[in-house]
Amino acid sequence: MNIFIQLFITFFKIGAFTFGGGWAMISIIEKEIVEKHRWIGKEDFLDLLAVAQSLPGILAVNISVAVGDKIRGNRRSIVAALGTILPSFLIILTIAIFLTPDLIKNNETINSIFKGIRPAVVALIIAPVITSAKAAKIGWKTVAIPIVTALLIWSKLPIVSNPILYIILGGIGGYLWHRHQLQRLHSIEKGGEK
C-alpha cells in the first residue's frame, strides 16, 4: 500500500478513535507507528514526543507532522496531519449542524456515555506515562524529578506552576549533565594515556 495512504489511514484512525486529548492518544500512536508499522524506533518516538510536547499546538498533530517528516518529507507530514485533524473536524461539524448545546446537556444518554468514557481516558493517559518512564530509564533514583515537577505544576503557585519553566530547566540540566559526562570521560582518557 502507498505510504501516503498508510499514513493518512493510520492517523485518521488515531484522530477518530481517541478521546481525552493528546496524552490519551500517545499509547495508540505508539502502537501504530512504533509497533505495528515500525516507521520509527522506540527511542526516536520518545524524542519526538518530547519535542511535540515542547512545541505550541496540538500534541497529536505535532507528533503526526514529526512522524511524517521522519519518514522523509513535507508532503508526508501534511498527509499525516490531515489524517489526524480530519476526524475531529468532521465530528464537530456534524455536531454543530445537527445538535444544539441544550440537547447535549439535557440528554441523559449522551451524559452517561461521557461519564463512562472518563475512566477509560484516565487509563489511556496513565499507560503511556508508565511506558515512557520505562523507556526513558527513569528508575527509583530519578523518579523524584517527575514527581516533584508534577506536584509543583499542580500546586498552582504563580512562578513554579509554569510547565515552560521545567522544559527549560530540563533542557539546561540535560545539557549540563552531558557536559559533565564528557568531561569525566575526557579526564579518564587523559589518565589512561599517562
pTM of this prediction? 0.61
Q: What is the pLDDT of residue 192?
A: 60
Summarised one tens digit per residue, pLDDT across range 138-190 is 777 778 888 888 888 888 888 888 888 888 888 898 899 889 999 988 888 87
- Mean pLDDT across 31-48: 88
Q: What is the pLDDT of residues 87-142, one digit of tens each?
A: 988 988 887 787 777 777 788 887 888 788 888 777 777 777 777 777 777 777 77
- Measured over the CA atoms of residue 142, residue 143, residue 145 and residue 146, the dihedral's sign is positive
Three-state secondary structure call for residue 81: helix
**Domain assignments of the chain as residue spans, ordered by start:** 3-137, 140-194
Q: What is the pLDDT of residue 1?
A: 67
**With contact defined as beta carbons under 8 Å apart, do 30 and 52 qualify?**
no
Phi, then psi, of 19 in degrees rounded to 5: -115, 145
Residue-level pLDDT at 43: 84
What residues contact residue 35 under an 8 Å CB cut-off, 6+ apart? none
- Distance CA(91)–CA(102), nearest Å, equals 18
Cβ atoms 28, 14 nearer than 8 A: yes
